[in-house]
């Protein structure tokens, strides 16, 4: 039961922000004058002490298919006009953006600064980085209009005739950023993060839902550091991965060290041996079991991959940590040393989700399409018992309150504040029977169903009844709600008294 008392209306954001202090799980709680009390709280967990989560709940049987769930939940679709490039519907875009927001909120903890870089670069950049020689088959080539596009061309326009390539990864662009300024050893490590879209020319037969696509987004990050900082930076990245995967309760998964390929690699064998030895040291220090995948490293350096299984048991690579001595050499990157000389930085590539599309596919199957409240695209719906005008109006009032939107009757609209929480709350005040509306809401996977009828108007203070539905995951850890700035945590049974002002 959720009791909402008159006088009306205080925005639900106050409730959401107050509840972010919660540290409880499956406990009854009450809120009065925006202060929350819990019968028991969880001990705080420092990100640096978190370990990779070794367990997960059993996948749903029969195995969930994110492609079918994506259609039934109106998350994404595809088109013959852009094969391998998913089109996210509003529900899917909401989940996607919640994942991005969650990761962005962690960047300050780990010292990352977000950047924005181009999608297209000249062929000469890819030749310099080594991608054109070692990765061209997986890239899209694009030709500029330049001299071919017009009759009256300047020298600059003619220069645009050079071939271009859509970027399959962000590392060359981040090298350009590092090289754009004079650097000192005091500046290092420098950590860039980037969410811009990437394109890889996958063969059509390999395309599959969100797990194998041609256009995707990667939470790409690059760390430029000194040799003495390598172990600490890789260890912190593994902790970052552990914290995030523990939050989503994803696992079990494997840590795999991928070593130098037999061909199509840049650099010397000695440089590769040195990089592999440092990754081995970081893996040993992590305290986790790991294995070796000989010859499967990137062409520029060895890497640590996180391997997750989907609900059908198929393995997918998600997170990755890669050590690279080659690109800093190719881009002639340097920093000033304490001895008034210069030295070459080391480049660490890292992704926590990996492909956001692939990670989202695994989450869809992990939760069987029923997401926890903080990322759910359908967290709440309000159903009216009747289509009476006064009931419909009260339902709209409750919708405005729960969603965190203000009432703008008789007042000028003001910009929404960045620190306020907005929860998407749907409403159905049609004349259909309540039974049909409830059944439809359950089938669509709403986390909460609010039922409003004429009797609610006659009670003082006015109340609404909330039906809470259990999700595929047995527990909604409060840290999910806190990290997602989502609002009210969902428990199986709870009562809340919310005092609202007019």
pLDDT tens digit at each of 502 positions of the chain:
344 433 333 333 333 333 233 233 332 222 222 222 222 333 333 333 333 333 344 555 557 889 999 998 999 999 999 999 999 999 999 999 999 999 999 999 999 999 999 999 999 999 999 899 888 889 999 887 764 555 555 555 555 567 899 999 999 999 999 999 999 999 999 999 999 999 999 888 888 889 999 999 999 999 999 999 999 999 999 999 999 998 888 877 788 998 888 877 777 888 888 888 888 888 888 888 888 888 888 787 888 999 988 888 888 889 999 988 889 999 999 999 999 899 999 999 999 999 999 999 999 998 888 888 889 999 889 999 888 999 899 888 888 878 877 655 556 777 777 777 788 899 999 999 999 999 999 888 888 888 888 887 777 666 555 655 544 343 443 333 333 333 333 333 333 333 333 3
The catalytic residue among 131, 303, 366, 437 is 303
CATH architecture assigned to 2-45+372-499:
3-Layer(aba) Sandwich (3.40)
In sequence order, the 6+-apart residues with CB closer than 8 A to the CB of 61 are none
In sequence order, the 6+-apart residues with CB closer than 8 A to the CB of 65 are 311, 312, 365
The answer to whether residues 213 and 202 touch, using CB atoms and an 8 Å cutoff, is yes
CATH architecture assigned to 62-119+167-250+323-366:
2-Layer Sandwich (3.30)
Q: What is the CA angle 116-119-120, rounded to 5?
A: 135
Residue 407 among the catalytic residues: no
The catalytic residue among 123, 131, 222, 309 is 222
The catalytic residue among 66, 98, 167, 171 is 171
- State residue 33's pLDDT score: 25
Tokens found for residue 463 = 């109340």
The catalytic residue among 123, 191, 249, 349 is 349
Residue 167 among the catalytic residues: no
Tokens found for residue 348 = 């660490």
Tokens found for residue 429 = 């005040």
The catalytic residue among 174, 191, 218, 310 is 218
Residue 222 among the catalytic residues: yes
CA distances from 250 to 87, 91, 274 (A): 25, 22, 32
Every domain of the chain and the residues it spans: 2-45+372-499, 62-119+167-250+323-366, 120-166
Residue 303 among the catalytic residues: yes
Tokens found for residue 409 = 């009757």
Tokens found for residue 457 = 């108007």
In sequence order, the 6+-apart residues with CB closer than 8 A to the CB of 90 are 74, 377
Residue 264 among the catalytic residues: no
Residue 157 Cα to chain centre, angstroms: 39
The answer to whether residues 181 and 190 touch, using CB atoms and an 8 Å cutoff, is no
- Residue 407: helix, strand or coil by DSSP? coil
Residue 178 Cα to chain centre, angstroms: 25
CA distance 344 to 333: 6
- State residue 282's pLDDT score: 87
156 prior amide bond cis, ω within 30: no
The catalytic residue among 194, 219, 220, 305 is 220
- State residue 13's pLDDT score: 33
CA distance 85 to 362: 17
The answer to whether residues 220 and 193 touch, using CB atoms and an 8 Å cutoff, is yes
Euclidean distance between the first and final Cα of the chain, in Å? 22
What sign results for the dihedral spanned by CA atoms 21, 378, 210, 316? Answer: positive
In sequence order, the 6+-apart residues with CB closer than 8 A to the CB of 164 are 120, 121, 122, 123, 141, 142, 143, 144
Q: Which of 334, 264, 326, 269 is nearest to 296 (CA)?
A: 264
Residue 200 Cα to chain centre, angstroms: 20
The catalytic residue among 167, 183, 200, 479 is 200
- State residue 22's pLDDT score: 28
Residue 249 among the catalytic residues: no
Residue 278 among the catalytic residues: no
In sequence order, the 6+-apart residues with CB closer than 8 A to the CB of 498 are 2, 3, 4, 5, 10, 15, 31
In sequence order, the 6+-apart residues with CB closer than 8 A to the CB of 501 are 7, 9, 10
């Amino acid at each position: 039961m959720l009791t909402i008392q008159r006088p009306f209306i205080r925005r639900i954001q106050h409730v959401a922000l107050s509840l972010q202090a919660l540290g409880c799980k499956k406990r009854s709680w009450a809120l009065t004058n925006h202060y929350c009390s819990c019968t028991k709280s969880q001990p705080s967990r420092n990100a640096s002490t978190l370990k990779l989560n070794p367990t997960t709940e059993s996948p749903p049987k029969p195995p969930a298919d994110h492609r079918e769930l994506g259609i039934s939940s109106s998350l994404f679709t595809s088109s013959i006009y852009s094969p391998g490039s998913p089109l996210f519907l509003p529900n899917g875009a909401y989940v996607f953006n919640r994942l991005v927001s969650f990761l962005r909120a962690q960047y300050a903890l780990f010292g990352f600064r977000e950047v924005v870089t181009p999608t297209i670069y000249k062929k000469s950049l890819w030749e310099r980085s080594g991608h054109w020689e070692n990765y061209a088959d997986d890239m899209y080539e694009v030709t500029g209009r330049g001299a071919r596009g017009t009759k009256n061309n300047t020298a600059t326009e003619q220069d645009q005739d050079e071939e271009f390539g859509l970027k399959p990864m962000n590392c060359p662009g981040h090298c350009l950023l590092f090289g754009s300024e004079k650097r000192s050893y005091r500046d290092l490590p420098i950590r860039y993060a980037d969410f811009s879209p990437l394109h890889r020319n996958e063969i059509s037969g390999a395309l599959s839902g969100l797990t194998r696509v041609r256009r995707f987004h990667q939470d790409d990050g690059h760390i430029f550091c000194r040799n003495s900082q390598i172990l600490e930076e890789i260890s912190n990245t593994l902790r970052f991965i552990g914290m995030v995967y523990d939050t989503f309760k994803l696992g079990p998964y494997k840590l795999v060290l991928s070593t130098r390929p037999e061909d199509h690699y840049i650099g010397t064998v000695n440089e590769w041996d040195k990089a592999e030895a440092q990754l081995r040291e970081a893996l040993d220090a992590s305290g986790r079991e790991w294995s070796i995948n000989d010859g499967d490293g990137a062409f520029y350096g060895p890497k640590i991959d996180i391997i997750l299984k989907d609900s059908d048991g198929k393995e997918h690579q998600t997170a990755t940590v890669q050590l690279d001595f080659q690109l800093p050499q190719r881009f002639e990157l340097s920093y000033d040393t304490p001895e008034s000389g210069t030295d070459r930085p080391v480049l660490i590539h890292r992704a926590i989700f990996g492909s956001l599309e692939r990670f989202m596919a695994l989450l869809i199957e992990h939760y069987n399409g029923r997401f926890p409240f903080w990322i759910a695209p359908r967290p709440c719906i309000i159903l009216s018992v009747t289509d009476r005008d006064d009931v419909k109006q009260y339902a709209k009032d409750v919708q405005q309150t729960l969603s965190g939107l203000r009432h703008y009757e008789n007042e000028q609209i003001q910009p929404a504040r960045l620190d306020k929480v907005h929860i998407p709350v749907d409403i159905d005040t049609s004349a259909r029977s309540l039974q049909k509306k409830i059944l439809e809401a359950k089938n669509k996977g709403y986390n909460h169903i609010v039922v409003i009828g004429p009797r609610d108007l006659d009670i003082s203070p006015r109340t609404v009844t909330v039906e809470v539905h259990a999700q595929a995951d047995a527990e909604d850890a409060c840290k999910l709600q806190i990290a997602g700035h989502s609002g009210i945590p969902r428990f199986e049974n709870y009562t809340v008294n919310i005092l609202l002002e007019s």
